[in-house]
């Protein structure tokens, strides 16, 4: 009898412990048909079936365990999906583990940098598709992994609790002496942070970060300064952002790229959303400029499924050679080559997005 009672007690305790932890499978599958003109040096048209036109396709696992006393253990493993070709999965989008409680949250691993999180809040196209803001890239063409400072590996991140709308986060990524860039032994080291205020209709965020990289056999610091804000009027939400990326090599003068963004999104009929955005890319480092105009519409068939369409126009000036990113048709990993210098470009995507 006693053994039975002990066994029942053990099972009950085990059941209570299991109820305090959970693992969630989640993801997004996004596919579209895209088209871009003036593609590559041959100035031809490009079209095809692609992914991530409205939101980046992904598959992830998220877990949490209640440790008691307000303390929780958490992990996230998330990878991108090339669902148009049925491949490309890994955990390079995020792979973190950490602790959360009244003190905030500490995460260790690979994830988005605080700088990118700050700026992405104000891109009405959510860093996806042909209409997205193009300011976060490796402007110096260093070829370094994560040279665009969107994500960083080997990173420790601390995020504060929300204090009546005020929030902040800081992060440091170790280079781990693994640099393969000549003259830049610390390449890959990242340090940055952001402070923000998100309360009701108002959002304001400022961020700064520095990334160690290298170019032409010399060590180079890539510094990012940004400030953004948005206000939701109900009938429409307006966003704005200014960002500067500065490269500074040892013993040399700095070169700058200033980018600006203003956007608007508005609900339509309770099931749709219209978006419009303008971005200016003032590439002072190359004495060139580019203007991007993007419009889009998202029609929600349910809470998880939506149809969407986006059109973007990129006007390159003074020898600028920026390109729109219509993954699957034409983009940063295309095989047609870069656009002809000073050539403008029009792109469009029509697709479907499902979240689970």
pLDDT in the model for residue 15: 46
pLDDT in the model for residue 332: 57
User: Dihedrals φ, ψ of 270, to 5°?
Assistant: 80, -10
Q: What is the pLDDT of residues 105-149, one digit of tens each?
A: 999 999 999 999 999 999 999 999 999 999 999 999 988 999 999
In percent, the amount of the chain with pLDDT more than 70 equals 94
For the chain, the distance separating the N- and C-terminal CA atoms, rounded to the nearest angstrom, is 47
pLDDT in the model for residue 4: 45
pLDDT in the model for residue 356: 97
CA-wise closest residue to 122 among 296, 265, 258, 245: 265
Q: What is the pLDDT of residues 216-232, one digit of tens each?
A: 888 999 999 999 999 99
Contact 222, 208 (CB under 8 A): no
pTM above 0.85, yes or no: yes
Q: Residues of the chain whose pLDDT is less than 70?
A: 1-19, 332-335
In CATH terms, 27-355 corresponds, of 3.30.1490.20, 3.20.20.60, 3.30.460.10, 2.40.160.10, to 2.40.160.10
Distance of CA 18 to the CA centre of its chain: 34
pLDDT in the model for residue 251: 75
What are the domain boundaries of the chain? 27-355
pLDDT in the model for residue 34: 96
């Amino acid at each position: 009898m006693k053994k039975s009672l002990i066994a029942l007690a053990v099972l009950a305790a085990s059941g209570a412990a299991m109820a305090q932890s959970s693992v969630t499978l989640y993801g997004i599958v996004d596919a579209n048909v895209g088209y871009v003109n003036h593609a590559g040096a041959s100035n031809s048209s490009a079209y095809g079936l692609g992914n991530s036109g409205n939101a980046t396709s992904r598959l992830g696992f998220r877990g949490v365990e209640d440790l008691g006393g307000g303390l929780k253990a958490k992990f996230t493993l998330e990878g991108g999906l090339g669902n148009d070709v049925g491949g490309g999965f890994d955990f390079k989008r995020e792979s973190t583990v950490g602790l959360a409680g009244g003190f905030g949250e500490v995460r260790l691993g690979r994830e988005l940098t605080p700088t990118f999180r700050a700026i992405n809040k104000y891109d009405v196209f959510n860093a996806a598709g042909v209409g997205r803001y193009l300011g976060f890239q490796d402007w110096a063409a260093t070829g370094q992994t994560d040279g665009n400072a969107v994500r960083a590996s080997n990173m420790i991140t601390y995020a504060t609790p929300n204090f009546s709308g005020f929030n902040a986060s800081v992060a440091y990524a170790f280079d781990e002496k693994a640099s393969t860039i000549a003259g830049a032994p610390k390449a890959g080291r990242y340090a940055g942070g952001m402070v923000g205020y998100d309360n009701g209709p108002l959002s304001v965020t400022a961020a700064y970060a520095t990334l160690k990289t290298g170019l032409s056999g010399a060590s180079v610091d890539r510094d990012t300064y940004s400030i953004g804000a948005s206000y939701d009027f109900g009938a429409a939400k307006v966003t704005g952002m200014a960002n500067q990326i500065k490269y500074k090599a040892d013993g040399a003068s700095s070169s700058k790229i200033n980018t600006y963004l203003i956007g608007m999104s508005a609900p339509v009929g309770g099931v749709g959303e219209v978006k419009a955005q303008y971005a200016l890319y003032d590439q002072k480092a190359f004495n060139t400029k580019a203007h991007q105009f993007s419009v889009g519409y998202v029609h929600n068939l349910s809470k998880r499924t939506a149809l969407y369409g986006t059109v973007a126009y990129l006007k390159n000036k003074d020898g600028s050679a920026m390109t729109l990113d219509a993954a699957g048709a034409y983009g940063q990993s295309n095989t047609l080559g870069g656009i002809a210098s000073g050539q403008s470009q029009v792109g469009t995507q029509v697709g479907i997005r499902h979240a689970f």
